[in-house]
């Protein structure tokens, strides 16, 4: 067990893409979250200990949290070293930002130990190196909400431009069917060319979703949760997707879709009662299909990584 000189933090799960906002929109969840312990060491470099049963690599360059810390160390005072202990509650491959939670938690905790010398945007840049280890691409749509909290818009990845968005109270229901969808595979099947008509509809939905969040307009949020580009391709990898979506809408959800690259599916609701009804609908679909699953009902986490 960690001793008292460790800093303890909780790094949240996140939902990326948010239906129409592929690679540009994301939000943080209150639960589940990873628990991480960090401390400064006299020996330079990074030491990683996993306190869970996922058998993730502990070599820093091959570990998402380790890669993020190595990026931070390149800008930190010479001779800096960290020991990090990780207990993951966000299942790897779940589509709710497991790799982002590790990477974001690592750099936020390290920055705290160093006296908060780096701004949040710089922490996102460091953590994106962890995402590159996980998926082969440096994307920030999970990392940004994990660090900033709430809902975030990645207006630009290069140069990095992150826009935190205000949002009305929202409840989130997430179902994680126990199948594997690798992020790299889910990206590979996407079409590289998009018809102009589809692109225009997608742009309108992203604008409508952002406007709905800022105006606290639940009906506009619901109308805008439509993806005509990515979801039609990726949903074929997720058994029961169409039934979950249809039954969730019948239960009163505003809308939703694939969380990240899947296999998790999320739905937004105005209140907890509806979110619980959506959870019951999701449960019934997967029980009928005979597919094991986990369900999370949460609100949006407004703070991101938090300290114990």
Residues 2-40 pLDDT 10s: 445 899 999 999 999 999 999 999 999 999 999 999 999
Indicate whether 68 pLDDT > 70: yes
Identify whether 183 is a catalytic site residue. yes
Q: Which of 80, 173, 183, 274 is catalytic?
A: 183
How large a percentage of the chain has pLDDT more than 70?
A: 96
Q: Which of 80, 131, 173, 231 is catalytic?
A: 131
3-state helix, strand, coil in the chain (%, to 5): 40, 25, 35
What pLDDT, on a 0 to 100 scale, did the predictor assign at position 101? 98
CA distance 72 to 214: 33
Give the largest CA-CA distance in the chain: 58
- What average pLDDT is seen over the chain? 94
Indicate whether 206 pLDDT > 80: yes
Q: How confident is the model at residue 192 (pLDDT cuts 50, 70, 90)?
A: confident
What pLDDT, on a 0 to 100 scale, did the predictor assign at position 191? 75
Enclosing H/E stretch for 183? helix 183-188
Using alpha carbons only, how large is the chain's radius of gyration in Å?
A: 19
pTM: 0.94
Query: Helix, strand, or coil here: 90?
Result: coil
What pLDDT, on a 0 to 100 scale, did the predictor assign at position 299? 98
Contact 201, 225 (CB under 8 A): no
What pLDDT, on a 0 to 100 scale, did the predictor assign at position 135? 84
The larger pLDDT score, comparing residue 285 to residue 189, is at 285
CA distance 301 to 299: 6
Q: How confident is the model at residue 261 (pLDDT cuts 50, 70, 90)?
A: confident
Closest CA to 283 of 291, 272, 13: 291
Query: Helix, strand, or coil here: 184?
Result: helix
Mean pLDDT of 161-182: 93
Q: Six-digit token pair at 86?
A: 């990780």
Identify whether 122 is a catalytic site residue. no
What pLDDT, on a 0 to 100 scale, did the predictor assign at position 271? 98
Phi, psi of 228 (to 5 degrees): -105, 5
What pLDDT, on a 0 to 100 scale, did the predictor assign at position 183? 64
Indicate whether 121 pLDDT > 50: yes
Q: How confident is the model at residue 1 (pLDDT cuts 50, 70, 90)?
A: very low
What pLDDT, on a 0 to 100 scale, did the predictor assign at position 118? 98
């Amino acid at each position: 067990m960690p001793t008292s000189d460790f800093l303890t933090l909780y790094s949240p799960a996140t939902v990326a893409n948010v239906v129409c906002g592929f690679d540009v929109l994301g939000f943080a969840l209150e639960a589940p979250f990873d628990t991480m312990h960090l401390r400064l060491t006299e020996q330079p470099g990074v030491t990683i200990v996993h306190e869970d049963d996922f058998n993730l690599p502990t070599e820093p360059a091959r570990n998402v949290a380790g890669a993020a810390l190595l990026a931070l160390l390149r800008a930190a005072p010479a001779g800096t070293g960290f020991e990090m202990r990780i207990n993951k509650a966000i299942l790897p491959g779940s589509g709710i930002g497991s790799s982002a939670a590790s990477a974001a938690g690592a750099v936020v905790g390290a920055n705290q130990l160093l006296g908060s010398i780096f701004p949040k945007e710089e922490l996102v840049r460091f953590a994106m190196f962890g995402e590159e280890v996980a998926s082969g691409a440096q994307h920030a749509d999970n990392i940004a909400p994990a660090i900033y909290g709430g809902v975030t818009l990645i207006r630009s990845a290069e140069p990095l431009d992150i826009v935190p968005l205000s949002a009305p109270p929202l409840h989130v229901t997430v179902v994680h069917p126990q199948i594997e969808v690798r992020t790299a595979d889910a990206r590979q099947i996407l079409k590289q060319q998009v018809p102009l008509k589809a692109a225009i509809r997608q742009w309108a939905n992203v604008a409508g979703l952002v406007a709905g969040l800022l105006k606290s307009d639940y009906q506009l949020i619901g109308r805008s949760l439509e993806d005509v580009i990515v979801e039609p391709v990726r949903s074929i990898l997720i058994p029961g997707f169409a039934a979950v979506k249809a039954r969730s809408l019948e239960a009163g959800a505003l809308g939703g879709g694939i969380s990240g690259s899947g296999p998790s599916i999320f739905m937004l609701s105005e209140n907890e009662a509806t979110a619980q009804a959506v959870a019951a609908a999701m449960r019934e679909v997967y029980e009928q299909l005979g597919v094991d699953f986990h369900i999370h009902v949460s609100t949006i986490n407004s703070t991101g990584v938090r300290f114990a």
